[in-house]
């Protein structure tokens, strides 16, 4: 298709139709992107920005805007031990979910990155938990992680062990909640990592195999470095998601806001308790902005780390590519 040789009509002699066409050509793109920006400004940007405004006032759910208090809400949140409790719980649950999840997802992806029988079945099967909503996941796992009955309690009893107080003790409750997150997301992340593994050129493995590297060596020296961008992406999304965990701890004990002694109250749950049962919109908004800043900070740090790694990678990557090329040239 070589239409580029056709010239456009000269500006001076435009007919009405050409003028309409020119107008159409210039302004249509703006019309196409406008609905997104207008709607997003209303439902995405405005709420976040207005949260900042609310956070600077005494602001009650029913009574509305009160006195301007400056940063007082921030000061009282940051000096509230319950905030730091929620912060610690969030980090703990995040670590208990992110680390096993990443390890298992990488392992499953490596298993699937072979000439496997029934690969569509396996790929679909690991994604099954992803379609179960967090509410249903929590409702189901509440029965599994139950102090008195359910499969785990039965198993413990069988071995004559003490029942575990899943909903009352700090670490068991964190493990139970992290398990719910892991159950839902491990297969999803395994597929992301599998896609990255399949993008690794097979020649690299062949050359390594020719040089006598065994499977495990190939995995550590080729697969892991080559999928590092995806690994980092998974870590970043897991972090941003993990900082905002709400549904699982909210419903793990529906009568409380994260446990009778706030054993598993996360930051968003802390925000929720301030905003709705306590009706303190000012302090809740300050919490939202503190969390927002934490997320931005985490994003920037991960970006910096990614960049640093990429820069450090440039040399080895070139050398290995060159050596592969050289080997192919040699043969």
Within 142-181, the residues that bind another protein by CB under 8 A are 142-144, 146, 149-151, 154-155, 157-158
Site string for another protein, 278-297 (x = CB under 8 A): ---x--xx--xx-xx--x--
Q: Which of residues 214-253 bind another protein (CB under 8 A)?
A: 230, 233, 240, 244, 246-247, 250-251
- 78-114 as b/e: b if 16+ CB within 10 A: eeeeebebbbebbebbbebbbeebbeebbebbbebbe
**Which residue's CB is nearer to another protein, number 81 or number 329?**
329
Interface residues for another protein in 98-117 (CB under 8 A)? Answer: 104, 107-108, 111-112, 114-117
- Name which position in 72, 192, 200, 232 contacts another protein (CB under 8 A): 192
The residue to which tokens 């298709």 are assigned: 1
State the number of CA atoms in the 13 A half-sphere of 115 facing the CB: 1
Task: Count CB neighbours of 280 within 10 A.
Answer: 20
The piece of 74-82, 87-95, 133-141, 311-319 that touches another protein (CB under 8 A) is 133-141
Task: Quote the least distance from Cβ 72 to another protein, whole Å.
Answer: 17
Residues within window 43-82 making contact with another protein, judged by CB under 8 A: 43-48, 50-51, 54
State which of residues 129, 200, 228, 278 lies at the interface with another protein (CB under 8 A). 129
Q: Which is nearer to another protein, 166 or 272 (CB)?
A: 272
What is the C-alpha separation between 299 and 240, in angstroms, rounded? 8
How many secondary structure helices (H) and strands (E) does the chain include? 15, 2
Q: Is 326 in the site for another protein (CB under 8 A)?
A: no
Contacts of 216-221 with C-beta under 8 Å, sequence gap 24+, read 219/110
Q: What are phi and psi of 66, to 5 degrees?
A: -115, -140
């Amino acid at each position: 298709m070589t239409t580029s040789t056709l010239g456009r009509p000269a500006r001076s002699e435009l007919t009405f139709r050409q003028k309409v066409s020119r107008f159409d050509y210039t302004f249509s793109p703006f019309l196409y992107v406008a609905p997104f920006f207008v709607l997003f400004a209303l439902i995405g940007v405005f709420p976040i920005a207005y949260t900042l405004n609310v956070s600077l006032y005494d602001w009650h759910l029913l009574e509305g805007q009160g006195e301007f208090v400056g940063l007082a809400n921030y000061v009282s949140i940051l000096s509230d031990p319950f905030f730091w409790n929620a912060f610690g719980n969030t980090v703990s649950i995040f670590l208990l979910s992110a680390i096993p999840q990443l390890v298992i997802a990488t392992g499953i992806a490596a298993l699937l990155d072979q000439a496997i029988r029934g690969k569509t079945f396996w790929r679909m099967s690991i994604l099954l938990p992803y379609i179960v909503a967090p509410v249903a996941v929590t409702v189901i796992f509440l029965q599994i992680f139950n102090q008195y009955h359910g499969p785990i309690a039965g198993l413990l009893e069988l071995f004559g062990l003490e029942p575990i107080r899943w909903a009352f003790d700090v670490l068991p409750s964190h493990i139970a909640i992290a398990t719910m997150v892991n159950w839902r997301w491990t297969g999803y992340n395994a597929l992301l990592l599998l896609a990255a593994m399949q993008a690794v050129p097979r020649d690299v493995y062949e050359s390594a195999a020719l040089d006598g590297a065994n499977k495990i060596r190939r995995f550590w020296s080729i697969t892991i470095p080559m999928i590092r961008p995806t690994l980092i992406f998974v870590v970043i999304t897991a972090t941003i998601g993990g900082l905002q965990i709400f549904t699982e701890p909210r419903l793990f004990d529906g009568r409380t806001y994260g446990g009778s002694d706030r054993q598993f109250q996360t930051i968003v749950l802390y925000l929720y308790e301030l905003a709705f049962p306590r009706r303190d919109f000012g302090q809740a908004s300050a919490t939202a902005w503190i969390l927002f800043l934490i997320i931005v900070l985490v994003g920037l740090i991960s970006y910096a780390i990614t960049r640093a790694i990429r820069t450090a990678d440039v040399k080895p990557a070139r050398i290995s590519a060159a050596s592969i090329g050289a080997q192919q040239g040699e043969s």
